[in-house]
Each structure stands twice: as structure tokens, then as C-alpha cells.
């Protein structure tokens, strides 16, 4: 699966997202077309990889007010979990970001993914904080988290010697500092 994603990223950077087909990807990865579809629904999913998974235990702890009892801190823990299982290196992450930034189709797909994830996280926040938790506040908190994620990707591009998670934590620290 990782080889397919590597090849899809390389094809997108070299030829653009519309410049290659699933058949081209299968040939580049030395697999059958069917193998590609066993793992992925389409081209965008191959480039971006599978949607992040978060353990049921962490989600239950989050909804229950944990793990720290501070909403933003706990969202950061959830974000770490969502990105921890990803097998891509920091260089791969920067290449995915470059592919996304340079392609409107991928940008749209990422935006759709973000909106779906934000909706799910928003539901979890309301379960945790109560149904009367302001929707605008929830959206702002989630956008701050996404800004930290994007900033961490930029920092990883500029400084690949540090891990994505180190850059993410530094971005969160900068947000905290700016808001205090």
C-alpha cells in the first residue's frame, strides 16, 4: 500500500494529478490495476493515503473529558494519534503537501476530507462539552488545530531533520504563546 502511495505521489509531482491513470500507477508500482482498487477507491485516495484512524479508547476518553481535561490539549492528543500511524517519512509528507498545493482537484478533495473530519470532531466536542457548546467556537478551535497541522507541514519542508510531530508541537506552542 505504501509503495502505491509513493508511486502516486511521484506521478502527481512529475505529471500532475490529471496526467496519469490508475493503469500508469499499477505499472509504476509493478502491481495489477485490481490490486490498486483493493486498497484505494480512486486516485486522490492513493495520493493522500487512507483517512486517519483514531482508537475507540482515545475517542471515549476524549468524549469523557480526557485525557487531560483541557479541550484544546486533548484535541492535540487526538491529532497526534491520527497522524502517528502514518508510514510516510517527513520527505514524503512534504511531497504530498507539494502535490496538494499544486493541484486544484487534490485541494478540493483535502478540503472535503477536512470538512468531514471537522464535522466528526465537532460532534465529539459537543458530546464532551454539551450540546449548547457554541458552534462558532468549536469551528474556530478546529481551524486553529488545522492551521497548526498545515504550519507543521511547512516547517517540515523547511527543516526535514525534525519530525512532523516535533514541528506540530512547536506550532501548537507558538499558537499558545501568541494567544496568551
| Cβ atoms of residues 154 and 171 within 8 Å | no
What digits encode the pLDDT tens for the residues 33-52?
A: 999 999 999 999 999 888 88
What digits encode the pLDDT tens for the residues 71-109?
A: 999 999 999 888 875 556 776 777 888 888 888 888 888
* pLDDT of amino acid 144: 92
What digits encode the pLDDT tens for the residues 9-24?
A: 999 999 999 999 999 9
**Angle subtended by helix axes 135-158 and 164-179, to nearest 10:** 130
Rounded distance, CA 23 to CA 106, Å?
19
How many Cα atoms within 13 Å fall on the side-chain side of residue 175?
22
Rounded distance, CA 65 to CA 127, Å?
10
Rounded distance, CA 52 to CA 49, Å?
9
Rounded distance, CA 66 to CA 52, Å?
20
* pTM attached to this predicted model: 0.80
**Angle subtended by helix axes 22-29 and 2-15, to nearest 10:** 120
Confidence label for 180 from pLDDT (cuts 50, 70 and 90): confident
* pLDDT of amino acid 91: 67
| Cβ atoms of residues 33 and 26 within 8 Å | yes
| Cβ atoms of residues 12 and 45 within 8 Å | no
Query: What is the DSSP-derived secondary structure letter of residue 17?
Result: G
What digits encode the pLDDT tens for the residues 125-175?
A: 999 999 999 999 999 999 999 899 889 988 988 888 888 899 999 999 999
Amino acid at each position: 500500500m505504501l509503495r502505491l502511495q509513493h508511486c502516486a505521489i511521484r506521478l502527481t509531482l512529475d505529471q500532475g494529478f490529471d496526467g496519469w491513470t490508475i493503469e500508469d500507477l499499477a505499472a509504476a508500482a509493478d502491481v495489477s490495476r485490481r490490486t490498486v482498487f483493493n486498497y484505494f477507491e480512486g486516485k486522490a485516495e492513493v495520493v493522500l493515503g487512507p483517512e486517519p484512524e483514531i482508537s475507540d479508547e482515545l475517542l471515549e476518553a476524549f468524549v469523557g473529558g480526557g485525557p487531560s481535561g483541557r479541550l484544546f490539549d486533548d484535541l492535540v492528543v487526538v491529532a497526534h494519534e491520527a497522524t502517528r500511524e502514518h508510514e510516510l517519512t517527513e520527505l514524503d509528507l512534504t511531497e504530498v503537501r507539494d502535490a496538494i498545493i499544486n493541484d486544484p482537484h487534490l485541494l478540493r478533495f483535502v478540503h472535503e476530507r477536512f470538512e468531514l473530519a471537522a464535522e466528526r470532531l465537532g460532534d465529539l466536542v459537543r458530546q464532551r462539552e454539551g450540546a449548547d457548546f457554541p458552534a462558532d467556537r468549536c469551528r474556530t478551535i478546529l481551524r486553529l488545530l488545522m492551521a497548526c497541522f498545515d504550519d507543521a507541514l511547512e516547517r517540515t519542508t523547511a527543516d526535514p531533520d525534525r519530525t512532523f510531530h516535533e514541528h506540530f508541537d512547536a506550532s501548537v506552542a507558538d499558537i499558545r504563546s501568541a494567544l496568551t
